Chain A
Amino acid sequence: MLNPQKLSDPEPDPRGAILPLTAHEITLRLANEDLLHEIDLVIEARSRTIILGPNGAGKSLLLRVLHGLKAPTSGEVLWAGAPLDSVARARQAMVFQRPVLLRRSALANITFVLHRAKLSRQDREARARAYLEMAELEHRAQTPARLLSGGEQQRLAIVRALALNPEILFLDEPTASLDPAATLAIEQLIDTVHNGGTKIVLVTHDIGQARRLADDVIFLHRGRVAEHSQADVFFAQPTSAAARAFLAGQIVT
């Protein structure tokens, strides 16, 4: 794995400028059902925030609302106290639960997002190749992205998001379809990115992964934040019944 910092822009951007991210009484109502209820969160810069919860808890929806893909029915999302603007948009990236890859080669998927950076064609391609290397996909550069294996697609989607050099990176179950070695590689990559100053917000229902990565944990249950605490506190003494049951491996619905 390469060090992604080698790839970031020469002048460091003012990291932390758009954070903290605040969710203020967010409710999301779709098809006459409240899927997110009055969510209040403050997501601070730098730390790795893990959103944990059972299937259907609303983790993906919450991520979409935070990232600005879905407008909440009520409440607001604030970036350093201000509503989403083009600056805040440009400094965040998201890896979807089901990766959305362009019908192009793996390499072209990355050069596509590098268009925003004003680079020469060669520089752009060189940079894209470096990101492919990071995902250990350099030998797949010319392969159509949609012919890659599930895990390879997931890795490509992650490095494509990194290519945006985001200040905050949302990841929706990025290792759900990966084998243990690939999972470890992705976790290391996330660590490296985080060490470079990028805020990580990662959704998972893998408790082991949450333990390995989390600085703080948001436990989501039935569209509500059951608790939001520091990782050590969360794993040692979860306060909500749902989180206790979930951590104990019981079925939580």
Chain B
Amino acid sequence: MSDDSSVLSLALRLLATGDDNLYAIIGLSMRVSLAAVGLGCLLGIPLGAALAVLRFPGRTVVTALLNSFMGLPPVVVGLLIYLLLSRSGPLGFLGLLYTPSAMIIAQTLLVTPIVAALSRQTIADLNDEYAELFRSLDLGLAARLGALIRDGRYSLMTAALAGFGRAIAEVGAVMIVGGNIAGATRVMTTAIALETSKGELALAIALGLILIALAMAVNLMVLGLNNFAQRRAYA
């Protein structure tokens, strides 16, 4: 019991004193996950919008696939990217394995289906509402998509936050393609896994607290966005 509380106070001290090692890890986590979310939005929102608006054969199948990709196991994604980037893999010549870039690629693959699937739902609902007006105005595809994305922006931001929550908390993919190299590819989740296995609980707990705080912040932002949008009748 006293052991636990001393570990906890050590963890709090680490956070409060701005331990370099700790903050480097947090910084890399944020950089990798934010980059992945940025790329995931660039790919996922247009993809979701296209699926919502375009009618083409096989659309239902693609949508079902996309929805199931929301739950891709991170270790499997990690393995896939590992195979692509490993020295003997097709993209091995890029020399990206065990770099933050590899981690960003893997997390982008995890985040994109989430953003795309949630965007598709949002934009499909909005399109149901707008479709007749758009037809009446004889708007082209680009104008329609532009208006749908613009007017759905609060829900789309929620989708991006969901993607961020997924990326920042996952351990399997970044572990496999990043390798958890101290000072290079170590992020919060991989550090927690390592420190815990070494019995060094203080750093693990400090990072765990940060992750929980981030998760709460993300959820608060989602709530805040929804409230704001509702109040402005944009939701």
A interface residues (Cβ-Cβ under 8 A, vs B): 64, 67-69, 86, 89-90, 93-94, 96, 100, 102-104, 112-113, 115, 144-147, 164
Contact = CB atoms under 8 A, between A and B. Distances in A.
Contacts of A89: 138
Contact of B233 (A68, A86, A93, A144): A144
A90 B151 CA distance: 24
B233 A103 contact: yes
Interface in B151-173: 151
Nearest to A161: B136
B140 to A, nearest CB: 10
Contacts of B235: 103
B132 A144 contact: no
Contacts of B132: 64, 69, 96, 100
B198 interface: no
26 contacts: A67-B136, A68-B135, A69-B135, A69-B136, A86-B138, A89-B138, A94-B136, A96-B132, A96-B136, A100-B129, A100-B130, A100-B133, A102-B130, A102-B133, A102-B147, A103-B126, A103-B151, A103-B233, A103-B234, A112-B147, A144-B232, A144-B233, A144-B234, A146-B233, A147-B233, A164-B137
B143 interface: yes
A104 B151 contact: yes
Contact of A102 (B138, B151, B232): B151
Nearest to A145: B233
B138 A113 contact: no
A170 to B, nearest CB: 9
A104 B234 CA distance: 7
Interface string B106-135: 000000000000000000001001101101
A222 to B, nearest CB: 24
Given A102-B147, A104-B151, 17 more contacts: A67-B136, A68-B135, A69-B132, A69-B135, A90-B138, A94-B136, A96-B133, A100-B130, A100-B133, A102-B130, A102-B151, A103-B233, A113-B137, A144-B234, A146-B233, A146-B234, A164-B137
Contacts of B233: 103, 144-147
Contacts of B137: 113, 164
A67 B136 CA distance: 8
B221 to A, nearest CB: 20
A124 B99 CA distance: 50
Contacts of B133: 96, 100, 102
B151 A115 contact: no
Nearest to B154: A103
A104 B129 CA distance: 14
Contacts of B135: 68-69
B202 to A, nearest CB: 49
Contacts of A67: 136
B131 to A, nearest CB: 9
Nearest to B235: A103
A34 to B, nearest CB: 22
B121 to A, nearest CB: 16
Nearest to B135: A69
A203 B126 CA distance: 27
A160 to B, nearest CB: 9
Contacts of B138: 86, 89-90
B51 to A, nearest CB: 21
A21 B128 CA distance: 28
Contacts of B232: 144, 147
A69 B135 CA distance: 7
A170 B135 CA distance: 14
A68 B137 CA distance: 11
Contacts of B143: 115
A96 B129 CA distance: 12
Contacts of A100: 129-130, 132-133
A147 B235 CA distance: 12
A93 B138 CA distance: 10
A86 to B, nearest CB: 7
A110 to B, nearest CB: 12
* Closest 3 pairs between A and B when the two form their complex, measured CB to CB: A146-B233, A100-B133, A89-B138
A164 B137 CA distance: 9
Interface string B76-102: 000000000000000000000000000
Contacts of A68: 135
A95 to B, nearest CB: 9
A189 to B, nearest CB: 19
A115 B142 CA distance: 13
